[in-house]
């Protein structure tokens, strides 16, 4: 993946195909993209889910044939499945699907309230309904435009970019001549930052904890990514760090800790430090853990943080407070609607500060992260 670079003057408009549709009455389909998780701990469902994930990232272990990659992916899935099944059993299955569908309903209501003919569809990368299912449903409904919007605030190669490539593949496989627009990173949307800050403030107040107390340490826990992607030019770590700096500043917190939730199923380096490795070095009575970029409760929050990290914190003598995910904040549908509105209405996305993405430098792909000259 190329590193993001300065956008040449005028590039904001050159790659958009909205000019011909200005003022036209057209329908828009919005595919809300996410990783997905099994709603039940059934072994066959979990193994198939993991196999898809490992196969999608098979290139991390070097060049190999498709057959070898599939066999290796199945091996990794079989090895990882028992522990993940145990996690799903502990949390009663993942609530991600229900929360994602509620978010899709919220953005559809908001855009329709704004006067736009929009239908939303939920598509998951690794469980049903798959991204291809969502694209097929949009085509069946006869929408004129299609917008891919990953529910990943922080742009990453195996999440944001990969999910949008799935949309492109589905459209191509269907031989569908549709106007396709794609949105990548959007963590800089001011409403997103504000709702996360408000959510954190409300939580610590309810817990009777002060972030300004010397006995409290704020810990940001971000989803990890293989170092390979960063070496290729992904700015994911940069996005994580700037987001944490911004939120800490808005909260009036002078110092904090940042760790990553890594899934080291392959013998390859991941982002460091691991969040659990931070705990022995923390000189405080308690930690407040904010899951960075998660927009749904899922196994990474309900099990990896609430069970595993909480247990390790207790062993270090630290009181543990985990900030809940504001997946149902009323403002979330509105901020997502802001991202989609230029395409639904047919005006230049640059008006809303959306500019040509360089992490996924293809025509019609925009983000809020592109560097200005």
Single residue among 283, 298, 322 that ends a domain in this structure: 322
Residue 310 lies in a domain: yes
Cα(324)–Cα(90) distance, integer angstroms: 18
* 162-173 vs 131-141: helix crossing angle, rounded to 10: 50
Residue 349 lies in a domain: no
Cα(204)–Cα(252) distance, integer angstroms: 14
Q: Indicate the length of the chain as a whole number.
A: 373
- Residues 200 and 318 placed together within one structural domain of the fold: yes
- Residues 86 and 197 placed together within one structural domain of the fold: no
Single residue among 305, 322, 339 that ends a domain in this structure: 322
| Residues 195, 331 contacting (CB under 8 angstroms) | yes
Residue 138 lies in a domain: no
Question: What is the phi-psi region of residue 256: left when phi exceeds 0, alpha when psi lies from -120 to 50, beta otherwise?
Answer: beta
What local confidence, expressed as pLDDT, does residue 58 receive? 80
- Residues 87 and 194 placed together within one structural domain of the fold: no
Count the neighbouring beta carbons within 10 Å of the beta carbon of residue 26: 16
Unique residue bearing structure tokens 């904890």: 209
Question: Pairing between strand 286-292 and 319-322?
Answer: parallel
- Residues 309 and 197 placed together within one structural domain of the fold: yes
Domain range for 241? 190-322
What local confidence, expressed as pLDDT, does residue 285 receive? 98
Q: Which two tokens stand for residue 341?
A: 């509105």
- Residues 73 and 196 placed together within one structural domain of the fold: no
What local confidence, expressed as pLDDT, does residue 372 receive? 58
* CATH number of the domain residue 229 falls in: 3.40.50.1400
Single residue among 306, 322, 338 that ends a domain in this structure: 322
Partners of 121 in the beta sheet?
A: 31
What local confidence, expressed as pLDDT, does residue 24 receive? 52
Residue 197 lies in a domain: yes
Report pTM: 0.89
Residue 210 lies in a domain: yes
What local confidence, expressed as pLDDT, does residue 2 receive? 33
Residue 59 lies in a domain: yes
Inter-CA distances, 338 with 104, 183, 266, 332, 349, Å:
14, 11, 39, 10, 10
For the chain (length 373 residues), average pLDDT per consecutive 10? 33 42 74 93 91 84 83 90 90 93 97 98 96 98 98 95 96 96 97 98 98 98 94 95 98 97 81 97 97 94 96 98 97 97 96 94 93 58
Cα(221)–Cα(325) distance, integer angstroms: 12
Residue 333 lies in a domain: no
Instruction: Give the strands of the sheet with 257-261, arranged side by side.
Output: 257-261, 216-223, 286-292, 319-322
| Residues 20, 251 contacting (CB under 8 angstroms) | no
SS (H, E, C) the chain: CCCCCCCCCCHHHHCCCCHHHCCCCCCEEEEEEECCCCCCCCHHHHHHHHHHHHHHCHHHHCCCCHHHHHHHHHHHHHHHHHHHHHHHHHHCCCCHHHHHHHHHHHHHHHHHHCCCCEEEEEEECCCCCEHHHHHHHHHHHCCCEEEEEECCCCCCHHHHHHHHHHHHHHHHHCCCCCEEEEECCCCCCHHHHHHHHHHHHHHHHHHCCCCCCCCEEEEEEEECCEHHHHHCCCCHHHHHHHHHHHHHHHHCCCCCEEEEECCCCCCCCECCCEHHHHHHHCCCCEEEEEEECCCCCCHHHHCHHHHHHHHHHHHCCCEEEECCCCCCCHHHHHHHHHHHHHHHHCCCHHHHCCEECCCCCCCCEEECCCCCC
Nearest to 204 by CA among 271, 252, 165: 252
Residue 302 lies in a domain: yes
**Total structural domains within the chain:** 2
């Amino acid at each position: 993946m190329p590193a993001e670079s300065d956008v040449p003057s005028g590039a904001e408009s050159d790659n958009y195909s909205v000019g011909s549709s200005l003022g036209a009455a057209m329908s828009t389909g919005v595919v809300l993209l996410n990783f997905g998780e099994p709603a039940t701990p059934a072994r066959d469902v979990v193994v198939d889910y993991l196999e898809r994930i490992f196969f999608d990232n098979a290139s991390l272990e070097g060049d190999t044939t498709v057959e070898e990659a599939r066999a290796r992916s199945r091996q990794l899935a079989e090895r990882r499945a028992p522990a993940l099944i145990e996690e799903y059993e502990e949390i009663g299955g993942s609530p991600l699907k229900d929360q994602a569908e509620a978010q899709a309903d919220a953005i559809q209501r908001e855009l329709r309230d704004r006067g736009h003919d929009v239908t939303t569809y939920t598509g998951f990368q690794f469980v049903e309904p798959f991204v291809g299912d969502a694209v097929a449903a949009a085509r069946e409904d006869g929408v004129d435009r299609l917008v891919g919007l990953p529910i990943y605030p922080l742009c990453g190669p195996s999440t944001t970019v990969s999910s949008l490539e799935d949309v492109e593949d589905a459209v191509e496989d269907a031989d569908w001549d549709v106007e396709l627009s794609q949105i990548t990173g959007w963590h800089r949307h001011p409403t997103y930052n504000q709702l996360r800050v408000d959510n954190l403030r409300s939580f610590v107040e309810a817990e009777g904890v002060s972030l300004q107390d010397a006995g409290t340490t704020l810990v940001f826990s971000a989803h990890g990514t293989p170092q390979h992607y960063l070496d290729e030019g992904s700015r994911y770590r940069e996005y994580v760090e700037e987001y944490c700096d911004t939120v800490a500043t808005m909260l009036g917190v002078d110092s904090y800790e940042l760790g990553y939730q890594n899934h080291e199923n392959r013998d390859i380096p991941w982002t460091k430090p691991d969040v659990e490795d931070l705990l022995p070095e923390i000189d405080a009575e308690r930690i407040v853990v904010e899951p960075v970029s998660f927009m749904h409760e899922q196994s990474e929050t309900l099990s990896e943080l609430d069970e595993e990290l909480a247990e390790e914190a207790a062993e270090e003598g630290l009181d543990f407070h985990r900030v809940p995910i504001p997946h149902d904040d009323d403002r979330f549908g509105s901020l997502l609607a802001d991202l989609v509105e230029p395409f639904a209405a047919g005006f230049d996305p640059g008006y809303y500060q959306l500019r040509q993405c360089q992490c996924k430098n293809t025509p019609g792909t925009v983000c809020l992260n592109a560097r200005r000259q």
